[in-house]
Structure 1
Amino acid sequence: MSKNRLTVVNKHIHGNASHCYSLTPCNGTEKNNVPTQNEAPSMPKRRQEVLKWNGWGYKDSKFKVNKDGQVEFTGERYKLSGQTMPILDHKTPAQPELTAKDIQAPIKNEDFIGDLRRTGISNTDDCQDRLFRAHGHTLHEVFLLREGKFKRIPDLVVWPNSHNEVVKIVELCCKHNVVLIPFGGGTSVSFALECPSEEQRMIVSLDTSQMVFVLN
C-alpha cells in the first residue's frame, strides 16, 4: 500500500499522472456478487456481548494482570494480543455494568409501539441496549459514560433487516411524532448520537447492523 502511494505521488511530480488511475468495475454491480439477505450480519444485535460497553474496542481485548503479576493483553485480534508487559504496573478495578436501576426508564409512545409491533420489526427497550446507542466515541462521551451519567438516552432500539423496513420505521416516526436517530458503527465523533437532554418525545435508535449490503 505504501509503495503504491509513493508511486502515485512520484508520477504526479514527474508527469504521467493519468497512468495513476484505472477503471475497475465495482463488484457489487455484478449479478453474481450481490449479497443476499440470508448472509449473517457482521455485528450481533446485542453489541455489548462483543464490544466494550464503556470504551473503545472488543470485550475480549483488554489488559489484565496474569498469575505471575504481569500485565498481559488478552484476545487474538491484534499483534499485541497474548504479549506481557512486565514493567507496566498500573492497576484499575473494572467498572461494573450498569443495570436498569441505574438508567432512566424509557418514554413510551404507545400508539407508535403498537403500530411497530404489527410490522414484526425486531425491537427492544432493554436498558443496556439503549445505553449502548446513547453515545459515540468522543473522549467526552466515553468519559461521561465512565464517570458521569447521560441525561437522556434512546427509549427504544429497532433493528430493520431491509430498506423497506427502514421506510416503514421512518413513516411511523413521522406519523406519531417520534424522534429517530440512525445508528451505524457507533464510533461517531461528531456527537450525532447524543440525545437532546430536553427532548420529551420518544427517541428511537435505528440500528443498521442487521442490514448486510448497500443499495445502489
Structure 2
Amino acid sequence: MTDFTARKVLVLGGSRGIGAAIVKRFARDGAEVTFSFAGSTDAAKALSDDTGANAVQADSADRDALIAAVAAQGALDVLVINAGTLALGDPLTIDPDAIDKMIDVNVRAPYHAAVEAARRMKDGGRIIVIGSTNGDRIPFEGGAAYAMTKSAMQGMVRGLARDFGDRRITVNSIQPGPTDTDMNPAEGPMAELMHSFMAIKRHVHADEIAGLAAYLAGPEAGMITGSMQTIDGGFGA
C-alpha cells in the first residue's frame, strides 16, 4: 500500500470495471480522486458515494469536453486514462462509424488528455494509459481495428515519455489481458477460447490492475517510463 495522501488523481473512465477498481485503490490509499464517466450515471453516483471520489460527466469521444474536464482539475499528480471502447467484427462489413468512434476514444482522447494534463502537472507526475495485450498480439479474427488502436497507444506512450522526461513525468501503459468486467466476464462465451492462449488460465481481476497502477504512480517507479506493463496471465507469451 502506497500513501497517496494529498496527491491529486484523475481517472478518465472510472465508473465501472477496471476504472472503478483504480478509483477505489487510490481513494483507499488516501488520494484526492476525481473520475469521469460518460453514460453510467447510477454506477458513477454509487462509486462516488462509496469512495468519496468526485464524479464528472465527460464523453471521451468529445475532444473539447474532454480537454475542458482535464484542464478543470488544475495541477494533477496522477492521470489514469482508462476510458476505451471495443468494436470487433469482419473488417469488410463492420460499421465504419463504430471504427471511427473507437479511434476517437482509444487514440485521440488519450493523446489530448495526456497533453492537457501535462500543461499543469507537477514535476514528477505520472501518466498511466490502460492499453491492451492486443497491442502486441491479436490471435483471433475481427480485432484488427481494435489492435490498431492499442498499438497506437504504445507509440504515444514512448513518444510522450521522451517529451515529458525533463520534468520527471513518467508515461506508461498497462496492458491487461482478458479481465473480468461487464464487457468481458470470466464466465462469458469467449472465456474458454481466451484461456486457451494463456499460461495462467483465468481472467485478470480488476483490482490486480489497480495494484499495478498504484505501483506505477508510486515513488519506487520513478525510473519506469515509456514502458508497456503487460498483465495478461501469459496471453501474449
Structure in which a larger fraction of residues adopt helix: 2
TM-score above 0.5, yes or no: no
TM-score computed with the length of structure 2 as normaliser: 0.24
The TM-score normalised by the length of structure 1 is 0.26
* Greater gyration radius: 1
